[in-house]
């Protein structure tokens, strides 16, 4: 039923006509409450208790024992939420999405404000119903990052801030050193789409088990490992926008297509956390797509699609252009270095919202102040500020930290892949990504949701989630590009 809801959600964000929002909301509420009724009842609880004794003797990572462990965790969490609250949240967030779209169209935060007030109120009720070890935000974070604590995120983020804020300040006077103007010529939309498909093909995306469609805000959703939908948007005067959103969503898609079919329709058929999922999209987008080996192969391919537009562009020029750093307003367009600063803004605001320290109506002002603090740029209007992200409109408060955790994990995983697969980058430079895809399939995707994020990271890398490898990577790559 969750997957059926996902089909409706995908349709809502791709092809649904705008006036269908009300009826779609009612359909989503029906599905959400039906799913709740089927799962959260005493019978399922008793069954899970009984089965957890039966599987005790099996190995920890066996299918049966993992299935019972993960399902029980999910059951215990959802049981704390009332049917009434689940229904209200489904309704408020479907309407909220519509309200957000309207507010964006009119570029007025006031239009979204009442919807968001309702959502924050319900999300706070949800956190209280779930309970938490240290602070209210823990309960929300746990939905996206099982067993992660706010205090741990804070510690990692402050380590990152210490390294990234001065780095961005050092780069700021040198921004003009890197020229990316040739990425902003006019690029035919159909050719951009086809170039994106060619890259997706090289990554190993299986078109018999997935497809690509167009949307405002690119995302990936999967109804099964055999049906994975990615979406993208094409901007005529920005070659990087469509390309990197395709590579990013392609990374998510390879994860979903790599989940074993035997896990389908069970709670094991999903990634352990949003951060782990994001690690795959970031790994492909940044560690692969913004690397020299990638462009050694793909620059001539890009030039065959756009011979006039990219004439005379050499490898170094392209490498530097796609890695240009500049503090900017829109998170999804941000470069690797400033990206996390956008996340810090949202993390700070979300905690204040759920702790009742910030009223929803005061969000735009608080948003702008934090943008000034972290990035030194201030939005001129809500569309390029507080209204830019879809997440709050669909109730995903507690989600943003996953992006930065994904960035950290991407580097840890890629370092490990390079260690275990000598010659990996030479293969990439020849346009062969099979070894990397296979490594990711075997070491990460094939495990589905068997392990907690912490267990998975330790299995794959032998260490825990850390900020240091990411900081080392960023300093070395951008130190070289900007001669710091
Ligand atoms: Zn993503």
Q: At 397, give phi and psi (nearest 5°).
A: -95, 125
pLDDT at 1: 76
CA of 181 to the centre of ligand 1 (A): 26
Last residue of a domain, one of 110, 144, 178: 144
Q: What is the pLDDT of residues 47-70, one digit of tens each?
A: 999 999 999 999 999 999 999 999
Instruction: Tell me, in angstroms, the distance from the centre of ligand 1 to residue 286's CA.
Output: 12
Q: Above 80 in pLDDT, residue 5?
A: yes
Q: 3-state SS of 415-478?
A: HHHHHHCCCHHHHHHCCCCHHHHHHHHHHCHHHCCCCCHHHHHHHHHCCCCCCHHHHHHHHHHH
pLDDT in tens, 277-327: 999 999 999 999 999 999 999 999 999 999 999 999 999 999 999 999 999
Rounded-to-integer distance, Cα 375 and Cα 377, Å = 5
Residue 57 is predicted with a pLDDT of: 94
The β-bridge relationship of strands 220-224 and 210-214 is unpaired
Mean pLDDT score, 36-51: 93
Distance 220 CA to ligand 1 centre (A): 8
What number is the average pLDDT over the span 326-331?
Answer: 95
Q: Average pLDDT for residues 213-232, to the nearest whole number?
A: 93
Residue 70 has which token pair?
């993960």
354 and 236 in a common domain: yes
pTM of the model: 0.95
Structure confidence at residue 2 (pLDDT): 81
What's the pLDDT score for residue 333?
86
CA of 249 to the centre of ligand 1 (A): 6
- Let me know whether 262 and 209 are in one domain: yes
Q: Is there a contact between 288 and 294 (Cβ–Cβ < 8 Å)?
A: yes
Residue 372 sits in the same domain as residue 474: yes
| Co-location of 161 and 137 in the same domain | no
Predicted local confidence at residue 18, as pLDDT: 83
Distance 197 CA to ligand 1 centre (A): 18
Query: Can you read off the two tokens belonging to residue 21?
Result: 């929002």
Hey, what are 124's tokens? 């706070």
| Residue that terminates a domain, selected from 125, 144, 163 | 144
Same domain, 60 and 171: no
Dist. CA 252 → ligand 1 center (Å)? 7
What is the 8-class DSSP label of residue 146?
T
Q: How far is the CA of 57 from the centre of ligand 1 (A)?
A: 38
Query: What is the mean pLDDT of the segment spanning 325-338?
Result: 94
User: Distance (Å, rounded) from C-alpha 41 to C-alpha 75?
Assistant: 9
Q: Over the stretch 456-483, which tens digit does the pLDDT of each residue have?
A: 999 999 999 999 999 999 999 999 999 9
pLDDT > 90? residue 13 = no
Q: Mark which of 101, 122, 144 sits at the end of a domain.
A: 144
Residue 190 · residue 183 · CB < 8 Å: no
Pair (70, 189) in one structural domain = no
3-state class (DSSP) for residue 231:
strand
> Which one, of 475, 167, 156, lies nearest residue 338 by Cα?
167
CATH number, residue 200: 1.10.1370.30
Cα of 313 to ligand 1 centre, how many Å? 29
Clarify whether residues 73 and 205 are in a common domain.
no
Does 419 lie in the same domain as 360? yes
> Separation of 180 CA from ligand 1 center, angstroms?
24
Q: Per DSSP, what are the bridge partners of residue 362?
A: none
Q: Are 233 and 245 in contact (CB under 8 A)?
A: yes
Cβ atoms of 219 and 249 within 8 Å: the answer is yes
Contacts 24+ apart (CB under 8 A), 459-462: 460/412, 460/413, 460/416, 461/412, 461/413, 461/415, 461/416
Chain centroid to Cα 232, Å, comes to: 14
Instruction: Find the 403 Cα to ligand 1 centroid distance in Å.
Output: 7
Is residue 145 over pLDDT 90?
yes
Residues 470 and 416 occupy one common structural domain: yes
| Angle formed at CA 418 by CA 413 and CA 424, multiple of 5 degrees | 125
Catalytic residues: 249
Domain with 172, as residue range(s), is 150-482
Residue 418, Cβ density class (10 Å: 0-12 exposed, 13-18 middle, ≥19 buried) = middle
Q: Which residues of 106-116 are buried (b: 16+ CB within 10 A; e: fewer)?
A: eeebebbbebb
Mean pLDDT of the chain: 95
Per-residue pLDDT at 290: 98
Give the number of domains in the chain.
Answer: 2
The helix (H) or strand (E) run that includes residue 239 is: helix 239-257
Q: Are 422 and 301 contained in the same domain?
A: yes
Radius of gyration of the chain (CA): 22
Whether the CB-CB separation of 234 and 413 falls below 8 Å is answered with no
Ligand 1 mean position to 44 CA, how many Å?
33
Domain co-membership, 167 together with 124: no
| pLDDT tens profile 366-417 | 999 999 999 999 999 999 999 999 999 989 999 999 999 999 999 999 999 9
Q: Which two tokens stand for residue 352?
A: 């204040």
3 state SS of 291: coil
DSSP letters, 20-43, are GHHHHHHHHHHHHHHHHHHHSSHH
Distance 43 CA to ligand 1 centre (A): 37
Lowest average pLDDT, out of 112-116, 216-220, 251-255, 393-397, goes to: 216-220
Q: Are residues 98 and 173 in the same domain?
A: no
Residue 219 CA to ligand 1 centre (angstroms): 7
Beta-bridge partners for 230: 212, 220
Hey, which residues does 228 pair with through a beta bridge? 210, 222
DSSP H or E run through 304:
helix 292-305
Q: What is the 270 CA–ligand 1 centroid distance (Å)?
A: 15
Nearest of 270, 211, 214, 222 to residue 245 by alpha carbon: 214
């Amino acid at each position: 039923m969750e997957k059926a809801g996902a089909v409706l959600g995908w349709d809502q964000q791709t092809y649904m006509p705008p006036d269908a929002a009300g009826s779609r909301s009612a359909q989503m509420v029906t599905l959400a409450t039906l799913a709740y009724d089927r799962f959260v009842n005493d019978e399922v609880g008793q069954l899970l208790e009984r089965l957890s004794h039966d599987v005790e003797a099996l190995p920890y990572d066996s299918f049966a024992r993992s299935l019972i462990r993960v399902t029980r965790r999910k059951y215990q969490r959802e049981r704390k939420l009332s049917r009434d609250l689940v229904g209200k949240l489904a309704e408020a967030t479907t309407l909220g999405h519509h309200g957000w779209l309207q507010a964006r169209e009119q570029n007025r935060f006031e239009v979204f404000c009442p919807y968001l007030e309702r959502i924050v109120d319900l999300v706070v009720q949800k956190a209280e119903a779930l309970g938490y070890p240290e602070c209210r935000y823990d309960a929300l974070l746990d939905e996206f990052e099982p067993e992660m604590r706010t205090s741990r995120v804070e510690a990692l983020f402050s380590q990152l801030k210490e390294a990234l804020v001065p780095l961005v300040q050092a780069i700021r006077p040198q921004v003009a050193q890197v020229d990316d103007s040739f990425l902003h010529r006019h690029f035919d939309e159909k050719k951009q789409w086809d170039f994106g498909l060619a890259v997706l093909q090289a990554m190993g995306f299986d078109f018999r088990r997935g497809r690509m469609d167009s949307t405002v805000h690119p995302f990936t959703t999967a109804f099964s490992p055999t049906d994975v939908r990615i979406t993208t948007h094409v901007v005529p005067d920005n070659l990087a926008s469509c390309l990197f959103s395709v590579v990013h969503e392609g990374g998510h898609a390879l994860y979903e297509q790599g989940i074993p079919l035997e896990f389908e329709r069970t709670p094991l058929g999903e990634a352990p956390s949003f951060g782990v999922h994001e690690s795959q999209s970031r790994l492909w987008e940044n560690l692969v797509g913004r690397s020299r080996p990638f462009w050694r192969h793909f620059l001539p391919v890009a030039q065959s699609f756009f011979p006039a537009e990219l004439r005379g562009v050499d490898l170094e020029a392209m490498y530097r252009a796609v890695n240009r750093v500049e503090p900017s307003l829109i998170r999804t367009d941000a470069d690797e270095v400033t990206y996390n600063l956008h996340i810090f803004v949202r993390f700070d605001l979300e905690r204040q919202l759920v702790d009742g320290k910030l009223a929803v109506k005061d969000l735009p002002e608080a948003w702008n102040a934090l943008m000034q603090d972290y990035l030194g740029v201030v939005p001129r209007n809500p569309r390029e500020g507080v209204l830019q992200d879809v997440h709050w409109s669909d109730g995903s408060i507690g989600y943003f930290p996953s992006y930065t955790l994904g960035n950290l994990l991407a580097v840890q995983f890629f370092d490990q892949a390079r260690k275990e697969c000598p010659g990996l980058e030479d293969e990439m430079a020849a346009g062969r990504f099979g070894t990397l895809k296979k490594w990711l399939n075997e070491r990460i995707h094939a495990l589905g949701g068997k392990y907690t994020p912490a267990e998975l990271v330790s299995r794959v890398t032998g260490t825990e989630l850390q900020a240091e490898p990411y900081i080392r990577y960023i300093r070395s790559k951008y130190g070289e590009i900007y001669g710091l």
